[in-house]
Structure formats: structure tokens, C-alpha cells
Structure 1
């Protein structure tokens, strides 16, 4: 008697299998690694004639209500996933070992994981090059200062810069051999490759021994880099007399905002060539020609050619300024009073006795850095500075350098510290020259009373000022509570047991109220 066939059960998930292939794989591995071929043959013959039974690995079927199908799929896929992860980990470890063993022969694909967004072969070459020099890889900034680059390395670097379209900062400062190989092609290859770095905004070539010939090679590439905003060429004394080879091309760098040429032994011809190109640099906000003796005679020409109404930094320290030059600087400061952030005229003796002219031109001021080191300031100059501070005209000042002005009397220092109006001050230097010393007992109480009104103070330099034991302890105690760095000469600091024996109660009683 026939019966209707039973309906097959419906499955929403994975269908149960009668056996799992994982078991067969494990059995095959056992046969391959453990059993000999003869033993395997006899075992299979026994199964064929019915002497032994073959174990079939049954599949485990779980209910679909509690996620059994998902667990079943996970348990069957997990061995494959673990195997793939093991292979990936093994290959990664192998690649890292090859990199450490021989950086020169590493395949470029080994850097795909570390480069992240940089997938090109050129980035791999850069990583190898920087690793050899002990530098950190960065696709937007290459800092190779103090690396003693050779001509061969310059050629290699030049070929790699062209493959970095997103490079923004290139610093090869303090490489003495950089321009000694101009004729051999190392430096020329480097600067010629800059024409491909269209995103370059900052170029630093400080203390590289630049010569007029190297400036000629550099100028040709600058014409192709209108986006350059900062150009640092300081401390290159050999380029004296050849700046005109560069200024001819600077007119095309329309976005140049900062030009650094300090300590380059610029001649009068160099400065005249620079003055001719300055009107074309309409975006310029910082020009540093300090520590060049000839600058003192052309300050009035420089400031007349500059866009002074937008200048933020215009240092003229160590420039041998004359009275005419100082007057021109005062006039320029008055025009740039709303933008000027830094005023540095240190080592200019003409300032002594005429500081009032400059301070009056800087009102109201946004200056955050005022440096008047070794300017032969007088007591009247210091009292005028105190009056300006009292009116709050220097409330944004953060750094004040008044060192090496031994002509200032005690009344001048007392007036300055008693004036107030320096709440933003972070750095103060009132040190004396190394060959001189003087007592500070007359104005030290005024300084101690002013310290609570300087909450941002982080450094106080008072080298060569002498004080007795109790005064030194009072100053040290006040600054220690504030975590202020005090710079004094070690031979003038107190080492006697009498100073160490002062009680804490007497120190607190002698402190001014905060």
C-alpha cells in the first residue's frame, strides 16, 4: 500500500549537512603527517572488506530560535578566518624583518600599511631614505636639518621630492656640503625638483653655505612656486654680493609672507637689489635683515619700500643704525602700530636717550615682544617706559629684554616694577654684562611687590645682580611658589649655612601680600 510522500521541512537559514568537511580535512592531515603509507593501505582495505567501520562526523544542528544557524555558520567559517589571519600576520612579520635587515632592498609594497593615504612607489623611497637618516616620515613635511647630506643623497632627495605632490615644508638647514656640490649636480637636482612640489609653502636653507651660483639655481625654481609663503636663507655669509641673482626671481613669488636674511653679510648692492623688489611683495608681513652692518645705512629706504601697514615683525638688531635710520624706524612703527608684534632693536646704541620717540609711536600697541638689549638706555628712558606701562599701552607684552643696560639707575628699575600694566608678561631679562655687577637691594622690594601682578611670568633673568642672604631667600621663595625659572650666576647664589638656616615663618612674614 502506497503512502503519500512526507513534506520536506522548510529551512530559513543554512541547511543541515550529514557530515562536515572539516573532519575529513583533519583526518587527511593526520594521515599525511602521522601514518605511514603501508598502514594507511591496510586500514583502507579493512574498511573495504567490512572489518572496520568508518566514523562519519555528524553535523550539529541547533534551533533557529536562539540563533543556532548563525552559531553553526560561525563555527564552520572560523577555522578558515583564523587561517587567513595567520597567513597575513606571518607575511607582515616577514616584511618587517626584511625592512630591518636590509633597507635598500625592501619592496615598495611593504610600506603600503604605514603610508596609509600615500600609495605610490615614490613614498616608499622616501620612507627608506628617511629611515636611513634616522628621521620620521611625513608626507607633508621633510625635516633634514643637521644630516650632513652628501652629493649622492642630494641627487636621491631631488628625485623623490618630485614624487611628493602634497609636500608643504622642506627643511635642509645646517648641511654644510649642500652647495659645495653645485657643479656636480646635487644641489641643482634638488632645487630643480622643487618646481614639481606645487604645494610647497615653506623652504628653509639656513646655514647651508649658499653662494651666488646656488642662488641663481634656486631662483629659477622659485619662479615655478608662487605658493611659497616662507623663505629662510639666514646665516649664509657666502652669498654676499650675489643677492641680486635671487631678487630678480622673487618678484614672481607673489604669496611670500616671510623672508629671513639675517646674518648674511649683505652688501650695499645686495640691499639695493632687495629694496627694488620689495614693492612687488605685497603679501610680505615679516622681513628679517638683522645682524647685517650695512642695513643701518638704508633703513629709511627699506621702510619706504615695505608695505609697513601690514608688517608684523621687522627686527633691526645689530644693524649699526644712525640717527636718521632710527627716525625712519620710528616713522614706520607709527604706521604699523596696529599690526607690529615684535620690536627688536638690540645692540643699537642710538636708542639710548631717544626711547621715548619709539614708545610714543607704538601707542596704542599690540606689541608682544620688545627687545632693547645693550641699547645704552638711561634712567629717563626707563622712567618713560614705566609711564607707558602705567597707562596700559603695553598690556599685551609677553617678552621684555632690558639686559646689558648698566646706565639705568636704581630709580629707573624701581619705576618700571612699580608701574604695573604688565599682566601678560612671561619673560623678563634685566641681566648685566658679564664683566660687571651691581647690587639690586634698592629695587628688589619693588620687584617682589610686582610679582603678584604678573601671573603669567615664567622666566626671570637677573645675572650679575648681587643681593644679601635674606634678599636672595625672599626672591627664591616667591618664585618657587610660582614655579618661575630664575636665572642667576652660580657664583653669586647663596651657599652659606646661614641662608639655609632661615626659618619658613620669617620668610612668609617678609613676603608682600598677594
Structure 2
């Protein structure tokens, strides 16, 4: 309760900060006793995570709280979170607000999570906070997403790392200014570093940054998640990292989505990925070179028995690489998510994959969006479903496959009731398309009423006459369900 009160006080201070300098800020606050400070600033506000996300997009900023340590009446390991939302301060207060946080830090020695994400005022002013992170030596999670961090901020953060030895997660995503400057941080990694999760989503990282990560990997033996999503300039930066990457025996998630992976990088990944024995999630989407040289890589995924998610959408796969992946899927018994969207070679060749899916008894999500599927593909898929395969499937994405004939769709929907756990289905058409549903629409509604877990169907660009619209609009009332029709 004390920590939550302190955080509430801190949030209120951030909103109303009006000090001219850091020294004046500290002096003005520290003249008061902690008790007076807390009692004078108590200001409760109600918020939720969903409300927070909405407000964040409209300009509201957050200080997201914490996991407290053990207290009376709590068992060891129990924690509570406090989340406070505040109206965005004006430009003057944005520049001055960081100084308000500084004197509060000594009152949070048990803090384990600090989230200052989506606060513009942090950019260029992180140093005062970083210098006092030693007051929070138990900090495990530090998130600074979209804070307009500068090179000076990255330097300050790097210097502060040794004062927070228990840090496990560092998230600097959506800070475009740190591209080319990541070495200012990574050169500070030292032996004994406990970081398990690194996130640099869309940070404009360059090949130089990739090389600096290579050198830092030797100090991250416990890393289990590496997220480099949407760093288009980092391609080519993995050519010297084979030795260090191979040592990540605990790595569970590797996300290289839209990183412009080069053919040289592919050589490295082909050598390294099969050695990541704990890997569970692999995302290589939107890397065109994957399709050129992925045969050997895909064939080696069979050595990863814990692999649960393979996402290779929009990778320009060819028939050979798709066949290689389909064969490998036979050896992935734990596979739950497979995303092959935007790979046109799947159309007419889905039968190669369906053999593997007979054995993939754990598959929950199958995405085949814009794969140029044909009627034969859906007929074969329907047969597998009717045969009792894909019994645990929850999400099926077939949108943007206008190449399927009306007969193909009708055949597919006939076997839908066998997917007892299906909750989401998308059969939307291309934005430029418009087709009649035909006679299968009534059958579809009947089948949906028999699927107890079903909640949403995408049917954009399918034209519905007035009679079918009435059927759809009365569906939930007639069946006492709550299915969302997106059309």
C-alpha cells in the first residue's frame, strides 16, 4: 500500500511539475519529510490496462508501477501492480518533469518493474534518473518504449547497468534515434549480466548495431528472448555472430521479422538455429532472402523438438523451400502456430503440408492468408478436418484467397463442425473484390451454431442480399451466442 501511495504521489507530481531545475526540484521536495510528502500528494485515480492503451494513443502518458517485495500478510513472491494515468503535461513541464522522479526513487528500494514508456519528456533527460537507479537495485524490468531516447540517454543507461545487477528485461522499442548508437549501451554489458529479454523493435538499428550485439552476446548467457523486429538496416550484421548465438541454450524466442536478412545472414542462421535447443518461437517474416536460401535452414528445424511457433509469412518461398518446410513439420510434434501467409507457392501445393498436419496434434493457429489457394486445397483441408485431424485448431486465416472457386468454399464449409475448438475464422476477400456468398451461407450459420467456442468470423467483401443479412443479424439472438461478424 505504501508503494502504491508513493507511485500515486509520483504520478501527481509528474502532472503538475513546475520546477525550473533539477537542484530546485530536489531541494523543494526533500525539505519535507517522506510522510508529509506522501500525505500531501495522495491522489487516487481509477484506470485499467485497456483504458490506458486507448488513452496512450490519444496523447496520454503513463507511469506504470511495480512488483513490491514481501510484506506482512503476503507470501514470498507475491506482488502487486499500480498503474496511474496522467494527462500529458505541456511542453514546459515535459522538460522539467524528470527532475520530479529523482527524489522519489529512494522511497522505492523494493521496486522490480519500472515502465516509463510513451513519455516524450524522457528523451534527452534520462541522465538524472539513470544516476539514481542504484536506489532500485532489485529492478528486474525496465521499459522505455517510444521515449525519444538520445545518444546521451543510451550512454547514461549503459553506465547505470552495473547499479541494477538483477535486471532481466530491457525494452527500448520504438526509439528511432538509437540506431547506429547501440554500442553505447552494449559495451557496458559485463560478465554476470542476468538479462533474459532484449527488445529493440523498430529502433532503426544498423549493421553496425548488429555487430555490437554480436560482441555483447557473450555477456548474456541467460538470454531467452531476442526481439529485433522491424530493423530494416540491421541486415548483414549477423555474419560474425555464429559462435556467440550458438551459446544461447536458453533462448526461447527469436524475432527477426522485417530485418532485411541477407544471404550471408542466412548462412549464419542455418548454422546456429539448430543449436538453439530451447527455441520455441521463430519469426523470420518479411525477409525476402529467406525464400532464396531457406531449404537447408528449414530442414534443420527438425532438431528443435520444443519449437511451437514458426512464422515465415511474406518470405517469397519457392516450391522447393515450401516442400522442405512441409517435410520438416513432420518432426515438430509440439507445433502450435504456423504462419505461411503471403507465400504464393502454397496454392496448389497444400497437400504437401497436410501430411505433416496429420501428426501436428497440437496445432492451434494456421494462417494461410493470400497464398493463392485453389478449390483443391480447400477440399483436401476439409477432408483432413473431417478425418479428425486439426482437432485443436482455434484460429484459421484463409483471407485474400480469391482464387478459390465458390464450389471450393462450399466444400470447405461442409466439414467445419468437426473443428470443435475453432474460435476465429477469416475468409475475407481482397479489397478490390466483391462476390456473392451463394448457397453455402445458410449452411455456414448452421455450422457456427454448433461450434461452442466460436466468437468471430471475417467476411469482408462478400456480398449479402437482404435476406442473408437478416439471418446474420438475428443469429446471436436465435442461438443465444455472441459471435462477431466482420463484413
**TM-score interval, smaller chain:** 0.7 to 0.9
Q: 1:117 to 1:445 in 2, by over 3 A?
A: closer
The reply on whether 1:171 has 2:162 as its aligned counterpart is no
Aligned pair partner of 1:200 in 190, 195, 204: 195
The reply on whether 1:150 has 2:150 as its aligned counterpart is yes
How far off is 1:241 after superposition?
Answer: 2.3
Aligned pair partner of 1:443 in 417, 421, 440: 440
| Residue pairs, 1:332-411, within 5 angstroms | 332-336=328-332, 338-364=333-359, 365-411=361-407
Cα shift readout 1:191-250 (whole Å, capped 9, x = no counterpart): 233436722111111111111211222222221111000101121111222221333421
Q: Which residue of 2 aligns with 1:482?
A: 481
| Residue pairs, 1:265-276, within 5 angstroms | 265-276=260-271
Bigger helix fraction = 1
The reply on whether 1:90 has 2:84 as its aligned counterpart is no
d(CA) in 2 for partners of 1:91, 1:407: 67
Q: Which residue of 2 aligns with 1:459?
A: 456
d(CA) in 1 for partners of 2:454, 2:418: 13
SS of the aligned residue for 1:475 comes to helix
Aligned pair partner of 1:427 in 420, 424, 427: 424
d(CA) in 1 for partners of 2:102, 2:196: 31
User: Any unmatched runs of 5+ in structure 2?
Assistant: 1-31, 44-92, 113-124, 131-136
Q: 1:262 to 1:87 in 2, by over 3 A?
A: closer
| Residue pairs, 1:184-223, within 5 angstroms | 187-195=182-190, 198-223=193-218
d(CA) in 1 for partners of 2:313, 2:38: 56
d(CA) in 1 for partners of 2:440, 2:279: 42
Q: 1:102 to 1:282 in 2, by over 3 A?
A: closer
How far off is 1:332 after superposition?
Answer: 0.4
Q: 1:391 to 1:461 in 2, by over 3 A?
A: same
Q: 1:107 to 1:94 in 2, by over 3 A?
A: farther
Tell me, yes or no, if the aligned pair for 2:111 and 2:139 is still in contact at 8 Å.
Answer: no
d(CA) in 2 for partners of 1:162, 1:309: 36
User: Any unmatched runs of 5+ in structure 1?
Assistant: 1-85, 119-124, 131-136, 489-514
Q: Which residue of 2 aligns with 1:512?
A: none
SS of the aligned residue for 2:213 comes to helix
Q: TM-score of the superposition, structure 1-length normalised?
A: 0.69
Q: Which residue of 1 aligns with 2:59?
A: none
Tell me, yes or no, if the aligned pair for 1:255 and 1:283 is still in contact at 8 Å.
Answer: yes
How far off is 1:418 after superposition?
Answer: 2.3
Q: Which residue of 2 aligns with 1:289?
A: 284
d(CA) in 2 for partners of 1:355, 1:115: 57
Between the two proteins, the alignment pairs up a number of residues equal to: 383
Q: TM-score of the superposition, structure 2-length normalised?
A: 0.72
Q: Which residue of 1 aligns with 2:110?
A: 116
* Higher gyration radius (CA): 1
Flag the structure with more relative contact order, 1 or 2, with Cα contacts below 8 A and sequence separation at least 6.
2
d(CA) in 2 for partners of 1:213, 1:268: 17
Q: Which residue of 2 aligns with 1:67?
A: none
